[in-house]
Structure 1
Amino acid sequence: MRLLIIDDHPMTCAGLKSLLQAYYSPVDIEARHSAVDVLALAAGADYIFLDMHLPDMGFLAMLELLAPYMSRVILISAAPELGAVQQAKNRGARGLLLKNADVNHILEGFKRIQAGEKVFDDIEAESTAYVDMLTERQRSVFDALLAGLSNKQIARVLAISEHTVKEHVTAILSIFGVRNRLELVLSQQHKV
């Protein structure tokens, strides 16, 4: 098995490499701390562990670069953003493994991916936790956003001002860590 780890933190690369070498034999693992020269390595890798926060290339640009190999990509992050994860998932990424998860969780997730599953449990659990953080009014606005209503329509339905709707929308986007309504909707697609 050939693996590629792309992460700007040498300790993360070394730790993940050691973990995978301890549990899989034989295994050939390349580690890169930047996006430089990864395309040639990606072509020969069975799986690509991709950090979501590389300083030398934006995440969307990295997804574009790896587009031919997305079915091999496993996202790794300590703080994944729902919208970014959803975009990678929509492009064919195989899963998300949290850097701060315990060893057994990471290994179990990787085994499930090898078995053909898409593994995004952690982000889905996080998404559910975010919904639980909403106030009752924010939940009403959230449901209306998922239904595709505009701010004006939400204001009419909930009998509140459009300004108040905008404040709730801003708070909801912040809670979910997304930049706009589209990212919010995409992050919730698995539930709709």
Structure 2
Amino acid sequence: MTINVVVADDQELVRSGFSMILDAQPDISVVAEAGDGAEAIEAVRRHAPDVLLLDIRMPRMDGIEAARVVCDETDTKVLMLTTFDQDDYVYDALHAGASGFLLKDVRRDDLVHAVRVVAAGDSLLAPAVTRRLIDDMVRRQPRPAIAPVGLDVLTDRERETLVLLGRGLSNAEIAAELVVSEHTVKTHVSNVLMKLGLRDRVQAVVAAYESGLLQPGTR
């Protein structure tokens, strides 16, 4: 099955470089490129890609607003590009529905892996840099929760699963922690997302912090 991707970045060399890397993969096809957020939205509406690789900082319409529109209107997964030490808007992107983040100096293999992971419906939460970033944004910019987080709708085991998701653990790591199978973990994760009205694991991380279930700095 081919993963269709739209690449959006206002820097032509960066955009072309990412497109060449992805198009070289037998299971990935870049169906369109875009130079700003508005063009990215138009490309997504036209091509209905599996993944939108989207720069946060772009002219006319930035990546955050574009991500919000794409996530609200479509099933396309959004993978944000950030410089990390300069962008103060990553937390906004989480609320917009982004499924993960990549540094713009990402290695070739990591870029390809990230697109495949996001296309499969997972999120890029494992890297420590993402956890530190979420910690920092929650600490410095407290905001209303992504969705009203009524944790009473969760079973005890689902609540435990949410805590472990908030710590950035993979399904395999959660399974080891809870001494259950990965299949069981997938069921718990699906139940958590459905009951709390969350789009994906990234939003589950934010919900875990904003509900008070986890505190910034928790590991």
Equivalent residue number for residue 60 of structure 2: 56
Distance 1:68 1:14 in 2: 26
Shift of 1:85: 2.4
Instruction: Give me the CA root mean square deviation.
Output: 3.4
Alignment of 1:84-163 (within 5 A): 84-122=89-127, 123-127=129-133
CA contact (8 A) 2:37 2:65 kept: no
Distance change >3 Å, CA 57–CA 87, structure 1 → 2: same
CA contact (8 A) 1:70 1:92 kept: no
Distance 2:94 2:124 in 1: 10
SS in 1 for 2:105: coil
Residue 7 (structure 1) aligned to one of 9, 31, 40: 9
Aligned residues: 145
CA contact (8 A) 1:71 1:92 kept: no
Shift of 1:110: 2.1
> Identity over the aligned pairs, expressed in percent?
14
SS in 1 for 2:89: helix
Distance change >3 Å, CA 88–CA 27, structure 1 → 2: same
Shift of 1:97: 1.6
Residue 42 (structure 2) aligned to one of 40, 43, 47: 40
Shift of 1:73: 0.9
Distance change >3 Å, CA 79–CA 188, structure 1 → 2: farther
Distance 1:130 1:87 in 2: 13
Distance change >3 Å, CA 129–CA 116, structure 1 → 2: closer
Residue type of the partner of 1:27? S
SS in 2 for 1:119: coil
Shift of 1:96: 1.0
TM-score normalized by the length of structure 1? 0.60
Distance change >3 Å, CA 126–CA 41, structure 1 → 2: same
SS in 1 for 2:66: helix
User: Which stretch has the larger CA shift, 8-17 or 69-78?
Assistant: 69-78
Distance 2:94 2:53 in 1: 14
> Unaligned stretches of 5+ in structure 1?
132-144, 147-172, 174-179
Residue 17 (structure 1) aligned to one of 16, 19, 24: 19
1:182 aligns with 2:202: no
> Unaligned stretches of 5+ in structure 2?
145-205
Compare the two structures and name the one with the higher helix fraction: 1
TM-score normalized by the length of structure 2? 0.53
CA contact (8 A) 1:3 1:46 kept: yes
Distance change >3 Å, CA 188–CA 52, structure 1 → 2: farther
Distance change >3 Å, CA 128–CA 74, structure 1 → 2: closer
